[in-house]
Structure 1
């Protein structure tokens, strides 16, 4: 796996699509015990909840294989990894996220895949607050929260790159009609 800047990952995605290749993204919400997953639609406009993987050091190889299978199934180009990018204080979550990515890189099962970090902006806490009034069983609520936190991370990234793509496009010049010479 190779780190690329957020905008560069999207440009690579656009190139892959133009060449007729794959072109979807996988969002990851990395937690202590679970990794929530979300996948982009085929147009890379909408993030959709996917699943939750158990995160254990002993099952890291299985997790890498799961990512390989997902890459094939969804024609993935890269991962958007949620990371608390709060620079005002040291956050242990940053080390946890980076450790998982480093460990996945060491498996060498995801060669050719690219990833970038995206600020998770309290997505887990926001989702938990939304779920609280629904009185869902705590075990189910945790897996739902992890999936939808991944959706929030991926959707935030997709909104950013699509808005930037739209604002970077130059307007077409006005055509003069032949009657106005």
Structure 2
């Protein structure tokens, strides 16, 4: 896997370059679970997908799961939630995110994909606030649902930002060319 700047990954997804256009997978990395969300075909809307269990011994299986998702959804890359502090620096929780990405890279199974990091601050807290009125009683169901929808929030924030920047750049070109 290759780390790209946020804008580069988005351009790759919508333009395709030498390859076809594709979709993006959002990841909310936790200590026990990885929440997943997938973009629609136009890379405008994030949709909840699933949750993968995370252990130190199942990295190869996770890479296989990701490979299956790549094929099923025509994925070109991952948007990985990354905890930054208010100064834009990595938080202590960022280590587990970097470790997971590093381990996935070491498998060699995802070499043809790219990824970028995207600020995930407060996504889980926002989702918890939204789910609270549902009064879910099963703690595992609550946790996995939180992780899945946190991935949606991460990916949707990324898509919204990238689409807004793209429109702004296109508008600037149009105004400059007239």
Please give the TM-score of this superposition, normalised by the length of structure 1: 0.90
Aligned counterparts of 2:15 and 2:41: Cα–Cα separation in 1: 14
CA drift at 1:83: 0.5
Aligned counterparts of 2:112 and 2:19: Cα–Cα separation in 1: 17
**Structure 1 position 171 matched with structure 2 position 174:** yes
CA drift at 1:19: 5.8
Q: Kindly report the root-mean-square deviation, in angstroms, between the aligned alpha carbons of the 2 structures.
A: 1.7
Rg larger for = 1
Cross-structure match for 1:119: 119
Please give the TM-score of this superposition, normalised by the length of structure 2: 0.91
Partner SS state of residue 121, structure 1? coil
* Number of aligned residues: 173
CA drift at 1:91: 2.4
Structure 1: stretches of 5+ with no match in the other structure: 175-181
Cross-structure match for 1:91: 91
Cross-structure match for 2:55: 56
Shift in CA distance, 123/8, structure 1 to aligned 2, threshold 3 Å: same
CA drift at 1:92: 2.2
Within 5 Å, which residues of 2 pair with 1:27-176? Answer: 27-86=26-85, 88=87, 91-137=91-137, 138-169=139-170, 170-171=173-174
1:108-154 CA-to-partner distances (Å, cap 9, x unmatched) read 00011000000002101111121112111222111111110000000
Aligned counterparts of 1:87 and 1:64: Cα–Cα separation in 2: 32
Aligned counterparts of 2:83 and 2:90: Cα–Cα separation in 1: 10
Structure 2: stretches of 5+ with no match in the other structure: none
1:23-77 CA-to-partner distances (Å, cap 9, x unmatched) read 1000000000000000000010000000000001111100000000000000000
